[in-house]
Amino acid sequence: MVVDAFALVADGPGFLVVDKGPGLDFHDHDGRPGLCSLVAQELGRPVFPVHRLDKATSGILLLATDRRRAADLAALFRERNVEKYYVALADSPPRKKQGLVQGDMVRSRRGTWKLTRSMERPARTRFFSWPVGPGRRLFVLKPMTGRTHQLRVAMKSLGAPILGDELYHPHAPDWPDRMYLHAHTLHFRLEGADFLYACAPSAGSLFLEDGFRQTLEGLGPLEALPWPGK
């Protein structure tokens, strides 16, 4: 789908917060500029990656504006001191409506991953879900670890793969206009100060429907949901 490449959400101390559009590569690819290059070109300042999103995933991202801050922020992610909250849409009923998905992730075919019952180095994702229209559910996902395709595999394991997911959702004649996964909220503490940024999805016809938008807005801040341990 054709969307704006990114929107600037905030300019923080040594970092930028941007909202990445779906379908945009994080790094340059096949001669086309990725998010980092586009942000640097648009704002006229260097940026340094700290974490990333899949090409098909939209939403909120941090980019450092100097190497020292990049190291600081990368350490926060590495030490799991950043809270991340995502929203997703599915068109299949999940095996459970809320809870914890966990297990080791192993390589499968076609570049995909699968969740196993072993717990040697488990990926862990907490979630809630609500109906938002005929046959569709809104999921709020909180990854507790940071594995490749973690949220996409967690949804698949629930029996509710993310709508539009080319790897984990069976294709259907009425294939949607994007993968319906969006990084909504980031919360972290840096040098004694709290930083919290949230950005609702702005691309995708199903994300823009009244049922989804009203339900999401009615939840209030995603970090304030009754997550275990809060």
pTM, full prediction: 0.95
pLDDT of residue 171: 87
pLDDT score for 2: 38
Q: What is the pLDDT of residue 3?
A: 52
- Six token digits for residue 1: 């789908």
Q: Nearest to residue 175, comparing CAs of 149, 204, 152, 134?
A: 204
* Placement of tokens 């069976």 in the chain: 170
| The pLDDT value given to residue 4 | 64
The residue from 54, 165, 174, 177 that is catalytic is 54
Structural element, H or E, at residue 41:
helix 35-43
C-alpha to C-alpha distance for 76 and 118, rounded to whole angstroms: 27
In this structure, what token pair is assigned to residue 155? 């949804």
- 131, two tokens: 């109906």
Among all chains, which residue has been given the structure tokens 């899949």?
54
Spell out, as residue ranges, where the chain has pLDDT lower than 50.
1-2
pLDDT at 39 (0 to 100): 93
Closest CA to 14 of 144, 185, 188, 145: 188
Quick check: is 54 catalytic?
yes
